[in-house]
Amino acid sequence: MRDYYEILGVDRGADGEAIKKAYRKLALKYHPDRNGGSEEAEEKFKEATEAYEVLRDPEKRARYDRFGHAGVKGSGAGAGGFGGFDFADALEIFMRDFGGFGLDDLFGGAARRGRRRAGPQKGPDVRLRLPVTLQEVATGVEKTLRVSVADPCEACGGTGAEGGAEPAVCGTCGGSGEVRRVQRSMLGQLMSVTPCPNCGGEGRVVEDRCGACNGAGAQSGETEVVVKVPAGVSSGDYITLKGRGSVGRRGGPRGDVYVVLEVEEDERFVREGADLFYELPITYAQAVLGDRVEVPTVLGTAEIEIPAGTQSGTILRLRGEGL
């Protein structure tokens, strides 16, 4: 397995912005839409995304720097780091961090607009952040959230037309959403294809707009979602709720909800992966003679034996008291 820094072409001292920039460049280069579905390009796209998903996260990066691939096995890959890493995960990560402008860079903004068709379109995704405590990380937790989304307009049923009437086929483009123009030149005839100026590439036009939504076909709404946070998560991990985002256009599916986790700091502990470190002050007598003392844990307290002759900097382990 190749070194993650080597994959992204950055040195080990690279900051987060340099890592993100290097990944974006590789992701655009090897994105399947630019490479005709090439399996080799798909593998490189997945490889770059896996490297980025580890190195963008300070905790995962620290474990990787210390232990190599073994330190992030099962946590650096997959959507949010919760499972096996596949192409769908890689695409989700790319869209999560770069959204629509990444696709504009693939095709060029005008080219992308020129590809619009009058068919169904998936609704916008919704991204939100969810704070979790270290205690919740230790046990896992289930939380109910209210999310602002776009719902179909109740007055027009989502058509955008008054009374719920179906939009009419655009008379300019005949429903294709595109206008073709042929120009003569010294080299012969040249044909250009542009979005229809009358319907904006939609293929249909609303002649009498709905007064409630002004022709948008959607209105602001709110939905309740249940988020199941597994134990052991890190800041930056995310959970995808498929089909819980905003309504699609022209019968398209709803978008997704991405819940990005933020683990709140606990000033008592320093976290390294699943391990927690606590600095215990002891007296000179305790160091020389030994003692049994009570120390805090993430879920309560525990007793630990200090051996006689303990030196400053000695690490004592409480098994099973981490995350």
pLDDT at 75 exceeding the cut of 60: no
Residue 81 lies in a domain: yes
Residue 249 lies in a domain: no
Q: For 212-229, b where at least 16 C-beta lie within 10 A, e where not — what string? A: ebebbbbbeeebebebeb
Residue 139 lies in a domain: no
- Which residue among 115, 150, 173 closes a domain? 115
Our count of domains for the chain comes to 2
Lowest mean per-residue pLDDT among 86-95, 146-155, 186-195, 266-275: 186-195
pLDDT at 320 exceeding the cut of 70: yes
- Which residue among 115, 146, 163 closes a domain? 115
Q: List the CATH number of the domain containing 303.
A: 2.60.260.20
As a whole number, the mean pLDDT across the chain is: 83
- Which residue among 98, 115, 132 closes a domain? 115
pTM: 0.58
Q: Which domain holds residue 278?
A: 266-323
Query: Over the stretch 222-280, which tens digit does the pLDDT of each residue have?
Result: 999 999 999 999 888 889 999 999 998 777 889 999 999 999 999 999 998 889 999 99
Sorting pLDDT into bands at 50, 70 and 90, what band is 195?
Answer: confident
